[in-house]
Chains A and B, each alone.
Chain A
Amino acid sequence: MNVITDPIGPDAGPETALAGLREPAPPGLAHATLVAVGLADDYAIVDSPLGPLRVVWNGRGVAEVSGEPDDAAFEARFFARTGRRARRRDALPADLARRIERRLGGDRQVRIDLDLRGTTEFERAVWMKALEIPRGQVRPYGWIAAEIGRPRAVRAVGTALGHNPVPLIVPCHRVVRSDGMIGQYSLGGPANKRTILTAEGADPDELEALARAGVRYFGSDTTRIFCMPTCSDARRVTERHLRHFPSARAAAAAGYRPCKHCRPLGAAVA
């Protein structure tokens, strides 16, 4: 609809003058509307321990966290994955920025809506399980597989974590190889995984040293409970009472029961 720009003099009747009152919608309205219903997206750059990241959102939730180095490459790849256009904004909406900051700070209770359209039920189960791993801790792929009731799907769990569209918000970096090594990371590779784990208070070098030494579990000879090595309960055991186990079977044979917080049996299946 074009604005009628003919001069409307005092002699024109109201009908003619009124037709001249049409007004085009403001330029950003269509995009903002499509974002609101989740048919287009906005994104902004957020600083992280891994450098600048692009956080993408729409009316349904956060759709992606991307490590792409520039806008054009990011927009093209995002369009290829989702079929939706993303438009750069100056900043995240204030409320979303606060929530993401709290989540990255370790607050797992803060709610962040996610737009995970186009993903499978299995993938979402894997990602939601990864959300349960506390900051500063890690779990092996096999633990996730067992916890979601698919103990044999360890490889598929690894693939699903590699496809996590919202890394850091869903902390797939807290899932490590079943042999205890830190392993791959979708957001820029293994070095980034070590960086973010270190920033969260875990010690990747120590974890890998333990793994190489064949240690998979920690036990306390006072409580007779065994844990994943990064479980907060295991971290409280004093040196004098700490026992190392190469497997859940060995711990059970020694008369230890699994911790109810980190549930180490899941990992034992792998």
Chain B
Amino acid sequence: MDDRRPDDAELAARLALDLDAHFERLVLSHQDRLYTIALRTSGDRRDAEELVQDTFVRAYRALAGWPAARIREVRLRGWLTTILLNAGRNRARVHRVPTTELAFDPGAEPATDPVARRDERETWARLLAGLSSAQRTAVVLRHVDGMSYAEIAEAVGRPEGTVKAHVHRGLAALRAALLAAEAPPEGLRAEEIPA
């Protein structure tokens, strides 16, 4: 049974017919979600951009070496996500980028950062960054990108139950971090709120 999204199944069929003619469509239809995943798991725009490009280059080279029948069957959404996550791990190893595994500490947040005050999305992004790598990845794939648990399990190579646990614990940690801040997520401290 084909449980792929219809547009992905159709795109895979096109890629199997003529990779070069349809690769641009693959890029255009997946670049936003891959960029979002890269940005929300790595935290750096420059890194995220390079990571997404690297992902597509790896995907192109793989597809170029596959027989048409294999390309037709590929589950693009999960497969591209796997490439992105693996490339990101390799990159972190090579460049020795310190991964954010620190416990969320509201006191250490730069509450005076004017950008953070203005942008609630930025606050949520920083909350996310406080999660463990496994939880953050699971939460981003499930709730930012909207993948199903089955898709995530396949993409990260872990059992579905483990993925669910990561998502639930990640969400719980985010809620706890919000409560711990005892302030609106803009990062305002109680004493700074005008009376």
Contact = CB atoms under 8 A, between A and B. Distances in A.
Contacts, number: 97
> Which secondary structure dominates chain A's binding surface?
loop
Interface in B12-54: 20, 23-24, 27-28, 31-36, 39-40, 45, 49, 52-53
A253 interface: no
Nearest to B45: A26
B143 A19 contact: yes
Nearest to B171: A14
Categorize the interface residue count of chain B: 35 or more
A8 B121 contact: yes
B57 A59 contact: yes
Contact of B57 (A8, A14, A21, A33): A33
A26 B49 CA distance: 8
A22 B32 contact: yes
Contact of A17 (B23, B27, B32, B124): B124
B185 interface: yes
B56 A21 contact: no
> Which secondary structure dominates chain B's binding surface?
helix
Categorize the interface residue count of chain A: 20 to 34
B124 A18 contact: yes
Interface stretch (A34-42, A130-138, A219-227): A34-42
Given A18-B124, A21-B125, A37-B57, 19 more contacts: A1-B32, A9-B184, A10-B184, A18-B139, A18-B143, A19-B143, A21-B140, A22-B145, A23-B32, A23-B35, A23-B39, A24-B32, A25-B49, A26-B49, A29-B35, A29-B53, A30-B27, A33-B57, A34-B27
